[in-house]
Each structure stands twice: as structure tokens, then as C-alpha cells.
């Protein structure tokens, strides 16, 4: 009954048909959430619950890895000594500007990594 469901709409229709027969699709709520996540990411469903669970888990693991990499880059950017720190200049305005630049670099790096990741998975789909 729940074979080859590629979208949330198909899943809803299959659930409605199952309910008319007094049945229900196993793991309907979880599958609907997974299909919604895949649709949001622009990734095509595998057509089966088990396949979508595996695909969703794999994507979530890779996103977690990207987040960890971005956080590590951000930590490295923040821990690099600057000339002002080496010279012990006590100019708060200068320090604030440098912190803004560091944050912008870290955010841009994180965004670039995530954008490349999404392109990669979009091309696979």
C-alpha cells in the first residue's frame, strides 16, 4: 500500500485510502516529517519509508558534520592573535570592529560550506 510514495501529498492520499479501509500507514507521522524535510532540502524521496529514513539519517549526520566543521573554523578564527592583541592596544572601538570582522568571516565560511553541501545533494537528487 505504501510503496513508491515520493511526496507528502502522495503519502496523505495513501493514508486517506488506508483510513477508508479502517487501516493506517505505519509510521505515518514520522514519514510525513521526513518527506517534509527532504522536500525542504530539495532532495527526492526514495519512495519507501525505510529508504527515506536512511536518507534522512545520512543527511542529518552530514549536516551535523558540517556544523561541527563550521564551529571549528569559527573557533580557529576567534583564537588567532591579532596585531592589537600582540601590542596590547586598549582601544575598544578597534577591538569591536575586529570581532565583527571575525564573526562575519566565520559566518560566511559556515554559509559557504552549507551552500556547497546543499548543491551537492540537490545534484544527487
Confidence (pTM):
0.56
Report the half-sphere exposure of 72 (CA within 13 A, side-chain side).
7
Domain presence at residue 45: yes
**Residues constituting the chain:** 125
Domain presence at residue 3: no
Nine-digit cell at 4? 513508491
DSSP code for 47: S
In angstroms, the CA 60 to CA 72 distance is 18
Domain presence at residue 2: no
Domain presence at residue 1: no
What residues make up the domain containing 102?
Answer: 8-124
- Predicted confidence pLDDT, tens digits, the chain (125 residues): 456 888 889 999 999 999 999 999 989 999 999 999 888 888 899 999 999 999 999 988 988 999 999 999 888 887 766 655 656 655 666 667 778 787 777 777 777 777 777 776 666 65
Total domain count for the chain? 1
Amino acid at each position: 500500500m505504501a510503496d513508491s510514495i515520493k511526496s507528502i501529498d502522495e503519502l496523505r492520499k495513501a493514508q486517506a485510502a488506508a483510513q477508508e479501509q479502517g487501516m493506517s500507514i505505519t509510521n505515518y507521522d514520522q514519514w510525513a516529517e521526513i518527506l517534509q524535510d527532504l522536500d525542504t532540502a530539495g532532495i527526492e524521496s526514495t519512495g519507501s519509508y525505510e529508504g527515506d529514513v536512511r536518507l534522512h539519517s545520512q543527511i542529518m549526520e552530514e549536516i551535523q558534520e558540517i556544523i561541527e566543521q563550521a564551529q571549528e573554523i569559527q573557533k580557529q578564527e576567534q583564537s588567532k592573535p591579532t596585531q592589537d592583541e600582540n601590542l596590547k592596544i586598549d582601544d575598544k572601538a578597534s577591538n569591536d570592529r575586529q570581532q565583527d570582522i571575525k564573526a562575519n568571516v566565520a559566518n560566511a565560511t559556515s554559509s559557504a560550506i552549507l551552500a556547497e553541501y546543499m548543491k551537492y545533494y540537490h545534484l544527487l537528487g
